[in-house]
Amino acid sequence: MKLKIWDLHCHLSGVTGRTPDERMAQLMAYVDRMGIDRICLYMGWPFSYNPSPERLREENDQVLAALTHWHDRAFGFCYVSAEHVEASLREMDRCIANGPMVGVKLWVAKRASAAELDPIIHRAAELKAVIFQHTWFKTDGGNYPGESTPFDLVELARRHPKTPMICGHTGGTWELGVRAVRSVPTISIDLAGSDPTSGLTEMAVRELGPERVIYGSDAGGRSFASQLGKVFGANIPDEAKRLILSENLHRLMRPILDAKGIRA
Amino acid sequence: MNEAIVDVNVYLSRWPFRRVSADEPTAIADKLRSQGVVQAWAGSLDSLLHRDLGSVNERLAAECRAAGEGFLLPFGAVNLRLPDWEEDLRRCHEEFGMPGIRLHPNYHGYKLDDPLAAKLLSQAAEHGLIVQLAVTMEDERTQHPLVQVPHVDAAPLVELVKRTPKLRLVLLNAFRALRPELRGQLVAAGQVYFEIASLEGVGGVEKLFGQIPGERILFGSYAPLFYFESALLKLQESQLGQVQLEAIRKGNAKWLLAAI
């Protein structure tokens, strides 16, 4: 029986096209080839590391446009930044409260430990939106000034102990990332966007339990194949694969999907 | 998907920083066979840091033999920074009958513009050995802080390849570090091949077919350090014709090996 696959982490990059529609059509052709049922999409193009309020709106508009013909296959996350809290809150009202999006994406503009994130997290919790924070531990010292490590996310999660959050990329250096978030049960991890290094998924399942591990790809910069390989190739029970490939994400999304009346 | 595959990028022994599933010779052979691999070209992870490469290469040859005739093909190590490296090259060729060698210039501490690199490539080519060169072993962002090893700068290879027309060079794990324009220059310079283990981006393989000649693309998994399924699924993700699939799965590698 085919496993249901939901991909937590996709972008409109890595494919060509002048419009969101054109890019989305290309992306979905690969999604179909890989048997992926639904994807989560965030940020537009080109990527902006510290977006202005105007740029946040533009990128969210690109994602909204991309979703237009794909509401049955794709979910949108609202790109927000703690550098521009009021603008981010407005975007959340526009795209989530009054729009089709179901989550927020926090990238590298400001570290997750900063107090400025608190109003964004409060509002996301009110909306039942899924919260995704990019994180990396970079050995080579290459973190951007506002780029979070999993430790930053742990600080944020401890300030909001009832709000689930997702640790993007498992911190990249996953042997550190898994350990960093292990003691905070409200944090799940995203498998996306690192090399398909053997052992990642096994360690995550062993240390966190299969319920806290979520498949994502970081396509189109990454290939769906390399990231799915982390799950299909892992030496873990089939039941854990089922949870990782869709059910854990579905569980995190269920409150907002129910609130919006979205059946998925 | 279980059709015959020649995997040109496999390692035996242990990664210094992590145990991984199937890092025993019998386990990796079983894993590869279960996925449809009919032949794998194997180097040894011991060769990265060990200095007694005679022992490393002897062990590699023995472990490959034990896996069954012709299933694991040993690609021995030569380190230009070791005294009398020429003897390791000779043994790989004459004593162990290896079809090629696998180089790790970044772990061994030399650049490819070193005159000795030209000498090694020339000698390997004269012996008819395939030369595999690992451009990267690990994302620079995730390396152990005490062992930060830069990617190999492959730019000098363009001139080296031009000056060594008999050389057949396979670049392993090349795509993170190698600029796209350099790929084209290398392919134009001579017999340079790429494998797909580190190829990223959606539809990466079909896009690569648009960038370099299809006969220069090989299947590589970088197992067991990478999940084997990553490379296998790339063939599904890309829109490829049957001829292209057959070439990348095994045809190109078989042709390359037959040319020895």
**Which chain B residues are Cβ-neighbours of A226 within 8 angstroms?**
200, 230, 233-234
The chain-wide mean pLDDT, for chain B, equals 96
**Hey, is the C-beta of B148 within 8 angstroms of any chain A C-beta?**
yes
Residues of chain A with pLDDT under 50: none
Question: Rounded CA gap, A42 and B63, in Å?
Answer: 48
Which architecture characterizes domain A6-260 according to CATH? Alpha-Beta Barrel (3.20)
Predicted structure pTM score: 0.97
pLDDT digits (tens, 9 = 90+) for B124-164: 999 999 999 999 999 999 999 999 999 999 999 999 999 99
Among A76, A84, A67, which residue's Cα sits nearest to residue A43? Answer: A76
Pick the CATH number of B5-258 from 3.20.20.190, 3.40.50.1820, 3.20.20.140, 3.30.70.360: 3.20.20.140
pLDDT at residue B75, as a whole number: 98
Question: Rounded CA gap, B135 and B150, in Å?
Answer: 9
A173:B141 CB<8 A = yes
How does B158-177 read in b/e, with b if 16+ C-beta sit within 10 Å?
Answer: bebbeebeebbbbbbbbbeb
CA distances from A166 to A156, A212, A262, B141 (A): 11, 9, 21, 21
A136:B141 CB<8 A = yes
Question: Rounded CA gap, B236 and B230, in Å?
Answer: 10
Sequence ranges of the domains in chain B: 5-258
CA atoms within 13 A on the CB side of A228: 27
**Token digits of residue A71:** 């509401």
The answer to whether B259 and B16 have CB atoms below 8 angstroms apart is: no
**Which chain A residues are Cβ-neighbours of B225 within 8 angstroms?**
197-198
pLDDT digits (tens, 9 = 90+) for B169-185: 999 999 999 999 999 99
pLDDT digits (tens, 9 = 90+) for A100-152: 999 999 999 999 999 999 999 999 999 999 999 999 999 999 999 999 999 99
Per-residue pLDDT of chain B (260 residues; tens, 9 = 90+): 457 999 999 999 999 999 999 999 999 999 999 999 999 999 999 999 999 999 999 999 999 999 998 999 999 999 999 999 999 999 999 999 999 999 999 999 999 999 999 999 999 999 999 999 999 999 999 999 999 999 999 999 999 999 999 999 999 999 999 999 999 999 999 999 999 999 999 999 999 999 999 999 999 999 999 999 999 999 999 999 999 999 999 999 999 999 76
The total of other beta-carbon atoms located within 10 Å of residue A174's CB is: 26
Question: Rounded CA gap, B166 and A193, in Å?
Answer: 39
Choose from B139, B141, B226 for mutation: most chain A CBs within 10 A.
B141
**Hey, is the C-beta of B236 within 8 angstroms of any chain A C-beta?**
yes
Query: In Å, how far is B226's CA from the nearest CA of chain A?
Result: 4
Question: Rounded CA gap, B46 and B28, in Å?
Answer: 16
A229:B19 CB<8 A = no
Choose from B199, B230, B235 for mutation: most chain A CBs within 10 A.
B230
Sequence ranges of the domains in chain A: 6-260
